[in-house]
Amino acid sequence: MLCQRNNDVINVVNRSAAISDNNDNLISIDGIIIDITHMKKMERQLRMRNKQLELMGSELRKANQRLMEIDQRKSELVNIVAHDLRNPLNSIRMFIELLLKYENSPLENEEFLHKIEQESLRLINLIDNFLDIEKIETGRMRYRHQSVELADLIEHFVSIYHWEAEKKGITLTKDSLVPIPEVIGDKNRISQVLSNLLANAVRYTNEGGSINIRVRTVAGTRMSERFQPPSPEKPHKHVKISIKDTGPGINREFHKHIFEKFYQLSSPAIKNNTGTGLGLAIVKEIVEHHRGRVWVESEEGKGATFFFTLPIKNV
């Protein structure tokens, strides 16, 4: 029951009893009105607390589920890393044995050495990714910014992955719409970006496919930014690098997830996907640290194009 007291609305409860004589004649009615406003307030607060606890419990259950999923992914990662470390090490050992035990032609020796170089690169890339993801999670990723000859860097990685692409019958090409300017950044980290993206392109492109690297300058970092000649009113401030392949492509629903740590695509078109799920997460961290952007344009069955931008020196 609601009543008013001193212009305040209060909650009350009425308790009353009839008083009768021996002949059951009503003599009087005794009653008492109890102010239960404070008790009602406490009940409301208790209900609110219960709702808050239910919400917190739900969030804790979700967080626990996420932690369990991450723990599961890390367990899988350990197995994948152990497997991936063994493969290049076995290859390196095999080719070294071929060099030591047999008399080979100079051409064969050169091929074996090139394969050892490629397997060593795979091994270093895998270890770097594994170590770098831990640095990202703990905020210990370090950068050394300097002037970087991007043209030389791209040429270097094209030459490195050309042999591996050729081995699969993949055509690897490079073109540029403009002279490639210098950029400001960490040379080793930018190398990681190029290496990761090229390694993925070669890995997922089928035999007889093609990979194309294109470089251009753009005014901004928007995904929709298209090439237009620079002008005094709109100078070009970024380099835009794209790596396009003719692989199985990526369904649009996965575009926002593939740059997450430990995320691996699950698709019938992608066979033997035993990657660690770390490379693209590291690419995203490095590019965004350099005030650039990274994204993918792709449809399942139509190949994929990965883009990233870097700031031009002295702009």
Q: Which residues contact 280 (CB under 8 A, 6 or more apart)?
A: 196, 200, 258, 259, 263
Q: Domain check: are 220 and 286 in the same one?
A: yes
Task: State the pLDDT at residue 260.
Answer: 84
Task: State the pLDDT at residue 309.
Answer: 92
Number of domains in the chain: 3
Domain span holding position 20: 2-35
Task: State the pLDDT at residue 287.
Answer: 94
Q: Domain check: are 122 and 160 in the same one?
A: no
**Under a CB-based contact definition with an 8 Å cutoff, are residues 263 and 230 in contact?**
no
Q: Domain check: are 217 and 126 in the same one?
A: no
HEC-encoded secondary structure of 123-183: HHHHHHHHHHHHHHHHCCCCCCCEEECHHHHHHHHHHHHHHHHHHCCCEEEEEECCCCCCE
For 13, the token pair is 């409860």
Give residue for tokens 């050992």: 93
Q: Domain check: are 132 and 160 in the same one?
A: no
Going by their DSSP bridges, the two strands 183-185 and 238-245 should be labelled as unpaired
Task: State the pLDDT at residue 220.
Answer: 63
Q: Which residues contact 254 (CB under 8 A, 6 or more apart)?
A: 265
Q: Domain check: are 214 and 291 in the same one?
A: yes
Q: Domain check: are 298 and 196 in the same one?
A: yes
Give the domain CATH number at 270.
3.30.565.10
Task: State the pLDDT at residue 303.
Answer: 93
Task: State the pLDDT at residue 261.
Answer: 76
Q: Domain check: are 80 and 218 in the same one?
A: no
* Mean pLDDT, contiguous 10-residue spans, the chain (315 residues): 61 72 75 73 85 88 82 68 72 85 83 82 76 74 88 88 86 83 90 90 91 86 53 71 93 87 65 65 90 92 93 78
pTM metric for this prediction: 0.62
Q: Domain check: are 245 and 269 in the same one?
A: yes
Task: State the pLDDT at residue 190.
Answer: 93
Q: Domain check: are 184 and 297 in the same one?
A: yes
Give the integer Cα–Cα distance in Å for 12 and 6.
Answer: 14
